[in-house]
Chain A
Amino acid sequence: MSEPLSKIPDGMRYYTGPEARLRRSVEEIVMSVFEGWSYEEITTPTVDYYSLFEHGMGSSQAHRAFRFTDSDGRMLALRPDITSGVARAAVTMFAKRQRPLRLCYAAKVFRQQPQSHAEWRRESTQAGCELLGSNTIAADLEVLAIASEILQRLGLGGEHLITLNDVGVFKGIAAGLALDAGSRDQMRQLVDSRNAADLERFLVDQAFPPDECRALVQLTQISGKRDTLESARLAITNAGPAEALDRLDRLWETIELLDLQEQFEIDLGDVAKLDYYTGLTFNIYVNGAAARIGSGGRYDGLTAAFGNAEPAIGFVLDLDALTTVLLARSQDEIFPPDPDRRLSHTTNSDPALLFREAMKKRADGERVLINFER
């Protein structure tokens, strides 16, 4: 049976009217902040080899890409992420460029999604930035400051929260345990959903040492401001995660010195994309959105896949989710309803005269609306 032509594929949509205009304004504001911090715009290919994303995102994420084959039989994909393409460009095209390298983008990504979820659009717009070539706390702070500025400029100051974690905490605890990839991921999921009850059952079944078990269960419970790190040090006594906790401590210290602590929180249970990130990770939440509207972190291992290992950190914002949040609130000061230009109705039965007049008005910067005789 054939589908009617009126049907739109699941997870795809139109943007029109005020929503389309708002979306463009949001993109412009985000890109202007990136530019203000000296990030250079880059556009990656929409269609690329599947293997790029397999290396860049890990196969568990990359398999969500829409895939098809090239004329020579190689597997292609509609890009499911931008970072992979940027990282490849950094170590190839920009190999000789001075570091740190700062790149930014706003573009569509395409992912297959299970339909039941809250965010199941299959085409979405990501705006993001990548800072390559530095593994200092200053680099971490730079991207956090950019994320914070963007939210302020979008009128979401005080409405947002950025949660911080370092994947070294979880990895440090798990390193001492003999785990196959499947069990490790099961354990990660249980921590990520803060499911202490099932996590305990899992740990008891695996007969792990009590120190590690206690530390892992604690991860599901600990979130908050600086006192979080003190609680974590008391609860997590094994040596593995100590370095990561120190890094978070130093970062938090600077956040407090900058008086930004209201916007941030530490959340050791956030272990969503463990295989991708190597240090700091963060998630961005905004009142009015049911899921995170942005996420980022340090991925020092990624560029090695393209031939040259270098430290990197970056984040992406879901522009469509941000637009939905902003559309629901009054944002007139930030996004003026309509440009203040005179609308000139133009009617004339002689097309040459009609267009001479219209083109003159356009040259004067007026908005023109031509009324055709039907």
Chain B
Amino acid sequence: MQRLTIALAKGRLQTETLELLGRAGVTVSSEMLATRRLAVEDESGRYRFIFVKPADVPVYVEHGIADCGVVGRDVLLESDADVLQRLTLEIGRCRMVVAAPSDLSWDNYGMVRVATKYPRVTAQHFGARGLSVEIIELSGSVEVAPLLGLADCIVDLVETGRTLRENGLQIVEVIAESTARLVINRASYQLKAAAVADLIDALGEPVNQESEFVLPPSGGSS
């Protein structure tokens, strides 16, 4: 069986993905993880994991350095990488939102100043409604920008909403719901089809089982 290289987003998603794989019998020894190496193998030797920054996961996968990756939908919306998004996982749930000090009325703005780490998503979201935006790209602590007068609102990820409340912000609009996705390199999807299918089986059933559009597996080699 061909070996797959899988890029995982460092941080909480990495832990949750390894847990999910663990339940399917794909385990990485704790000694291996404790070494803090950036590339480790699972115990069967069928998978090699590389740990990279979330935004770099689609980059490694598109370039074929990793065959697959696990990364949040939020990251994929911001990236324009050409990768296959074959499977949705029920981990890493969060929302991409517009948040502001008070309920903004867009009518009052000729130009909205938005602070964000997600310039592409922001431009698309406001562009679709015909609003002019000045996007102020920050690399962290975006929540303080409205407080300090740098921006009128922010576009950011929210898990519990606590950080927003602590900075006097409220959710004005939800841009997208996000959970983790299994992404696959286009060539690997074809050339390592059997190994990729195994990984898909290990991580979950195709889409949600309650979906009315997905038939039970019919025994095809999909």
Q: What is the bound-complex CA distance between A210 and B189, given in angstroms?
A: 28
Contacting A221 at CB < 8 Å: which of B62, B88, B222? B222
Q: What is the bound-complex CA distance between A161 and B63, given in angstroms?
A: 18
A194 touching B84 by the CB < 8 A rule?
yes
The stretch of A30-38, A77-85, A112-120 in contact with B is: A112-120
Given known A-B contacts A231-B218, A231-B220, A265-B193, A193 and B185 have beta carbons under 8 A apart: no
The stretch of A68-76, A172-180, A287-295 in contact with B is: A287-295
Contacting B82 at CB < 8 Å: which of A118, A230, A267? A118
Q: What is the bound-complex CA distance between A195 and B79, given in angstroms?
A: 15
The stretch of B10-18, B145-153, B167-175, B204-212 in contact with A is: B204-212
A200 touching B64 by the CB < 8 A rule?
no
A281 at the interface (CB under 8 A from B): no
For the complex, would chain B's binding face be called helix, strand, loop or mixed by DSSP majority? loop
- Taking residues whose C-beta sits less than 8 angstroms from the other chain, chain A's interface range is 35 or more
Contacting B80 at CB < 8 Å: which of A114, A222, A228, A235? A114
B213 at the interface (CB under 8 A from A): yes
Contacting A194 at CB < 8 Å: which of B59, B85, B212? B85
Given known A-B contacts A217-B213, A221-B214, A267 and B190 have beta carbons under 8 A apart: yes
Encoded as 1 (CB less than 8 Å from any A CB) or 0, chain B from 171 to 189 comes to 0000000000100111101
B212 touching A265 by the CB < 8 A rule?
no
B63 touching A118 by the CB < 8 A rule?
yes
A225 touching B221 by the CB < 8 A rule?
yes
Most chain A CB neighbours (cut-off 10 Å) among B82, B218, B222:
B222
B64 touching A235 by the CB < 8 A rule?
no
B218 touching A196 by the CB < 8 A rule?
no
Closest-by-CB residue of B relative to A221 is B222
A323 at the interface (CB under 8 A from B): no
Given known A-B contacts A194-B84, A289-B64, A161 and B191 have beta carbons under 8 A apart: yes
Closest-by-CB residue of A relative to B58 is A116
Set of chain A residues within 8 Å of B84, measured between Cβ atoms: 193-195
Q: What is the bound-complex CA distance between A150 and B149, given in angstroms?
A: 63
Q: What is the bound-complex CA distance between A146 and B219, given in angstroms?
A: 33
A224 touching B190 by the CB < 8 A rule?
no
The interface on chain B, measured as residues whose beta carbon lies within 8 A of the other chain's beta carbons, has a size of 36
Q: What is the bound-complex CA distance between A283 and B82, given in angstroms?
A: 15
B207 touching A222 by the CB < 8 A rule?
no
Q: What is the bound-complex CA distance between A90 and B218, given in angstroms?
A: 46
Contacting A195 at CB < 8 Å: which of B64, B85, B208, B219? B85
Encoded as 1 (CB less than 8 Å from any B CB) or 0, chain A from 276 to 299 comes to 000000010111011110000000
Closest-by-CB residue of A relative to B211 is A200
Q: What is the bound-complex CA distance between A291 and B184, given in angstroms?
A: 12
Set of chain A residues within 8 Å of B34, measured between Cβ atoms: none
Q: What is the bound-complex CA distance between A292 and B222, given in angstroms?
A: 20
B219 touching A292 by the CB < 8 A rule?
no
Contacting B222 at CB < 8 Å: which of A222, A283, A290? A222
B24 at the interface (CB under 8 A from A): no
Given known A-B contacts A117-B81, A292-B187, A200 and B221 have beta carbons under 8 A apart: no
A218 at the interface (CB under 8 A from B): yes
Set of chain A residues within 8 Å of B85, measured between Cβ atoms: 193-195, 197-198
Q: What is the bound-complex CA distance between A316 and B86, given in angstroms?
A: 27
A214 touching B213 by the CB < 8 A rule?
yes
Encoded as 1 (CB less than 8 Å from any B CB) or 0, chain A from 189 to 219 comes to 0000111111010010000001001101110
What are 9 A-B interface contacts by the 8 Å CB criterion? A116-B59, A161-B190, A193-B84, A217-B213, A218-B214, A231-B219, A286-B187, A290-B65, A290-B187
A residues in contact (CB < 8 Å) with B: 114, 116-118, 161, 163, 193-198, 200, 203, 210, 213-214, 216-218, 220-225, 227-228, 230-231, 234-235, 265, 267, 283, 285-287, 289-292
8 tightest CB-CB pairs across the interface, nearest first?
A: A290-B64, A231-B220, A224-B221, A197-B88, A217-B213, A195-B85, A194-B84, A214-B213
